[in-house]
Amino acid sequence: MRICLFLFTLIFSAICTMAQYTASQVLANTAKAIDSSPALSVNYVAKANDGTQVNGTLTVAQEKFSVNSGDFGAWYDGEVLWSYQTKTNEVTLSEPTAEELMEINPFDIINHYASHYKAEVKTSTPTTYTVVLTPLAKNNSVKSATLIVNTSDWLPIEIDATFANNAKLDITVSGYQRLDKVPAKTIFQFPYSTYPKASVIDLR
């Protein structure tokens, strides 16, 4: 009986400790974990509700990032976004909004949640927190987003987003690699020399 009471006390204490974290605190811990390294490389699997599935790699350093997912590539140097489609061999240049960046780099939502979203802890366990984000603006292209965060390192293990057109994207992280230095700026810019015949569409 004493052993059972002792175990119950431990479990109850753990639950109470978990409950102390608000959604803002969870996301603040996540942002800190991401920024604790000069750069982060993320391997992921993205699934859309139309059945499309792609494996991709995301390299992120503060606000800069690059994405490679086979048929699609994106580069953002903090000012300009290059979006490349392999099938059409076209690269589009733009100065994106926060919502547009989130559509390509779901990690970006962590940096902008405070000013663009209402955050709420949906569920919590000893190993994960599930945080739901709802946009503050009605015209936001992101209808809702859900982050599942690992409490051992505070990094996201799953990010699910529903967009205004009811398209859905579920991203499962398969691995992280911390980089000991920020890659050269050119890593976050479109490599014109690699795609010399790409058609350029400048929307700036």
**Predicted local confidence at residue 9, as pLDDT:** 43
Looking at 85-176, list the stretches that DSSP marks H as alpha helix, in order from N- to C-terminal side.
98-104, 108-116
Tell which residue, 64, 67, 96, has the closest CA to residue 78.
64
Q: Above 80 in pLDDT, residue 17?
A: no
Q: Above 50 in pLDDT, residue 7?
A: no
**Predicted local confidence at residue 83, as pLDDT:** 96
Q: Is residue 106 part of a domain?
A: yes
- Average pLDDT of the chain, as a whole number: 87
Tell which residue, 66, 94, 100, 92, has the closest CA to residue 79.
94
Whole-angstrom distance, CA of residue 130 vs CA of residue 197: 44
- Which of 15-24, 117-126, 158-167 shows the lowest mean pLDDT across its residues? 15-24
Q: Above 60 in pLDDT, residue 19?
A: no
6 or 188, which is more confident: 188
Q: Is residue 112 part of a domain?
A: yes
Q: Is residue 142 part of a domain?
A: yes
What is the CATH classification number for the domain harbouring 77?
2.50.20.10
**Predicted local confidence at residue 50, as pLDDT:** 87
Q: Above 50 in pLDDT, residue 155?
A: yes
Q: Is residue 12 part of a domain?
A: no
- Tell me the average pLDDT across 194-201: 94
DSSP helix/strand/coil, 35: helix
pLDDT band at 2 (very low <50, low <70, confident <90, very high): low
Number of domains the chain contains: 1
Q: Above 80 in pLDDT, residue 16?
A: no
Q: Is residue 102 part of a domain?
A: yes
- Tell me the average pLDDT across 72-99: 93
Whole-angstrom distance, CA of residue 120 vs CA of residue 131: 6
**Predicted local confidence at residue 140, as pLDDT:** 81
Q: Is residue 5 part of a domain?
A: no
Q: Above 70 in pLDDT, residue 4?
A: no
Question: What are residue 170's DSSP bridge partners?
Answer: 47, 160
Q: Is residue 48 part of a domain?
A: yes
**Predicted local confidence at residue 54, as pLDDT:** 87
pLDDT band at 13 (very low <50, low <70, confident <90, very high): very low
pLDDT band at 176 (very low <50, low <70, confident <90, very high): very high
Whole-angstrom distance, CA of residue 2 vs CA of residue 166: 53
Share of the chain above pLDDT 70, in %: 91
* pTM assigned to the model: 0.81
Residue 137's domain comprises: 21-202
Q: Above 50 in pLDDT, residue 95?
A: yes
Query: Residue 23, class by beta-carbon neighbours within 10 Å (0-12 exposed, 13-18 middle, 19+ buried)?
Result: buried
Q: Is residue 1 part of a domain?
A: no
